Amino acid sequence: MRHYLDFERPIAELEGKIEELRKMSEADGLNIAEEVARLTEKSDRQIRATYAKLTPWQKTLVARHPDRPQASDYLTGLLDGFTPLAGDRAFAEDAAVVGGIGRFRGRSVVAIGTEKGTDTESRVRHNFGMARPEGYRKARRLIELAGRFGLPILSFVDTSGAFPGIDAEARGQAEAIARSIEACLQAPVPVVATIIGEGGSGGAIALAAGDAVLMLEHAIYSVISPEGCAAILWKDAAQAPAAAEAMKLTAEDLKRLRLIDAIVGEPLGGAHRDRAATLVAAAEAIAGALAPLLTLDPAALKAQRREKFLEMGREALA
């Protein structure tokens, strides 16, 4: 059963009709090929029209779509022999951050991501992608491991933000995030970060201070959620669509502001409609971003990475 977003209702209706026709033809042996083809074409047109002009708020909903590929889909789908690694070596294993080693197009890499989970049970286990300090400390550990063995780092960011909890604060959430950002910046190996869904605040940048930052077409990336921004600046969380508009959080906005390097196109109707095609597109983009970085020595790589971040926002953009 496909999960439809509110604004996808016209698509849902057309696809519902097609499904009904198929069932009828199975039961009654009617020839409905022509009618199905006509409706399918209509439905495709509808999807194309809808997705060509998604509002920032609609993109936010797509970015959070429950059927969207999750970080672990990229880890297992893009890497051969992916082997998960665990633990921060200090306090706990935090499943909100997943990571490990594997081969990306024949090359050994370290991959890290924030994982939201796919059903109630796994969402609870991964804490809905909201990491505690242990998650960021585990990420830092894996980044340092990558540095030690000269392995490029691929990160996959999908989080509404770091977990705002008493325990997380007690164990130094802020310090853990700061150190994770520092580790990204200090890595002597290429770091390619991809915002695959929600790039929420400090919890996202903790894994995304990379040489190349890619963003999926319908992903969002900002300093606070539209709901949070609306609650503070509009004093009304229901103003989230207006906040999403004002915050410039779409891939297109971020590219124009030169805060990300490239946009990864999504299949028609969003990543959740064709997960396999999404992974293929992401792999292509990541390989493309990685190639030039592999030619740089560690010092040049780090210097270039720093310069890139230092240049951000210095220039006024029209």
Partner 1 sequence: MSWLTEYVRPRIRTLLGRRDVPENLWVQCPACQQMMFHTELEKNLKVCTHCGHHMRAAAEERLRWTFDADAFTRIELPKVPADPLRFRDSQRYSERHRAAREKAHRDDALVVAHGTIGGQRAVVAVMDFEFMAGSMGAAVGEGIVAAAKLAVLQDAPLIVFTASGGARMQEGAVSLMQMPRTTIATLLVKEAGLPFITVLTDPTTGGVTASFAMLGDLQIAEPGALIGFAGVRVIEQTVREKLPEGFQRAEYLFEHGMLDMVVTRTDLAAMLAHVIGLLRVRDLADAA
Residues that bind partner 1 (CB under 8 A): 162-166, 168-175, 177-179, 181-182, 184-186, 201-202, 204-206, 209, 221-224, 228-229, 232-234, 242-243, 246-249, 253-254, 257, 259, 306, 309-310, 312-317
Q: Give the nearer residue to partner 1 in terms of CB position, either 178 or 262.
A: 178
Residue closer to partner 1 (CB basis): 119 or 307:
307
Percent helix, strand and coil across the chain, each rounded to 5? 55, 15, 30
For residues 79 and 271, what is the distance between their CA atoms, to the nearest angstrom?
19
- Cα separation, 262 vs 282, whole angstroms: 11
| Rounded CA separation 190/152 (Å) | 5
Contact present, 180 and 136 (Cβ < 8 Å) = yes
- Comparing CB distances to partner 1, the nearer of 33 and 174 is 174
Residue 147 phi/psi, 5° resolution? -60, -40
Taking the complex as a whole, how short is the minimal distance between the CB of residue 230 and partner 1, in angstroms?
9
Q: How far is CA 60 from CA 24, 134, 236, in A?
A: 37, 27, 18
| Least distance (Å) between residue 137 CB and partner 1 | 13
- Select 186 or 278, whichever has its Cβ closest to partner 1: 186
Q: Are 130 and 96 in contact (CB under 8 A)?
A: yes
Q: Name the residue among 118, 97, 155 with its Cα closest to residue 275.
A: 118
Residue 158: CB minimum distance to partner 1, A: 16
Nearest distance, CB of residue 84 and partner 1, angstroms: 26
Asked if residue 282 lies in contact with residue 250, where contact means CB atoms within 8 angstroms, the answer is no
Between 62 and 251, whose beta carbon lies closer to partner 1? 251
* 262 CB-near residues (< 8 Å, 6+ apart): 212, 214, 215, 255, 285, 288, 289
Place of tokens 């370290």: 110
The gap between the terminal CA atoms of the chain, to the nearest Å, is 44
Provide the minimum distance between the beta carbon of 205 and partner 1 in the complex, in angstroms, as a whole number: 5
From residue 96, alpha-carbon distances to 72, 111, 123, 131 in Å are: 11, 14, 9, 5
Nearer to partner 1, 73 or 253 (CB): 253
How far apart are CB 141 and partner 1 at their closest, in Å? 18
Between 1 and 316, name the residue whose CB sits nearer to partner 1: 316
Alpha-carbon 290 to chain mean position: 18
Closest separation in Å from C-beta 72 to partner 1: 24
Two structure tokens written together for 225 = 């959620």
What is the closest distance, in whole angstroms, from the C-beta atom of residue 71 to partner 1 in the complex? 19
Query: Is 203:139 a contact under the CB 8 Å cutoff?
Result: no
Decide whether 272 or 305 has the Cβ nearer to partner 1. Answer: 305
